[in-house]
Amino acid sequence: MKALKLIPNLLTGAGFLCGMTAVIVATQPFYYIDYVIYLILAAGFFDFIDGFAARLLKAQSEFGKQFDSLSDLVSFGIAPAMLIYAVLHSWIPETVFPSTNSIFLAIPAVIYALATAIRLAVFNTDSRQTDNFRGIPSPAAALFVTTACLYWGNFSGDENAVLQISITAIFAAVAMLIPIPFVSLKLKSAASKFMAVLMILAGTLFFVLFSFEGIALLILLYMVASPAMFFFGRVFSDKT
């Protein structure tokens, strides 16, 4: 039984390894960049199932909570930030932004990584986020940024693509810190179960239509639908 309770931490460790590998690969030649994206997606998968396994096996612990946050910082903070910088540095034309000033291209990446660190620290110390979130969770932000990079990869070298990636990174950073309630997918409430079903159905449709790039649309749907559920839930409860 004790061995079974190690499973969630092993899954968290697998996610950490995916994130750390993504950081390393992001420093390699740009034609490896797709692997960074897939490694972050894999880390997102492990992050989802480690929490599910911990609840299923009743193996939640303070160590597991802290380990999960540190893993999330690497996989969903540092790795996406490295991806953002690698994409901007590789795509922007030399005539538009000389390489000697490329340090400024790190600004969106640094803002995103800092926001992730703050988001995780707030989550660990905010008792209101036991069943729901305030601000989108860092895995959702990372998947949004990552798959947006995958989409804009079709427009490599386009100045507009560079601008879009920068805006996407800063938008995701703000979305993590904004104090708006978002539904958790822990299946503890009717709203959580409804959101999970909506995400599965919409995610399947988006994946069929747009492949991995559809994940960005799925996260956008979550950003809109989740606060809307809280808003209309309060409206209806006030009327009854």
Give per-residue pLDDT as tens, 23-77. 999 888 877 888 888 999 999 999 989 888 888 888 788 888 899 999 999 999 9
- Residue 165: which of 174, 176, 156 has the closest Cα? 156
Residue type (1 letter), 232: F
Instruction: Please state which architecture CATH assigns to domain 4-239.
Output: Up-down Bundle (1.20)
Q: Considering only CA atoms, give the Rg of the chain.
A: 18
For the chain, domain boundaries: 4-239
Encoded amino acid at 161, one letter: A
- Give alpha helix (H) positions in 126-189: 138-152, 159-177
pTM score: 0.87
| d(C-alpha 222, C-alpha 230), whole Å | 12
Model confidence pLDDT, tens digit, residues 159-190? 677 788 889 999 999 999 998 888 887 767 77
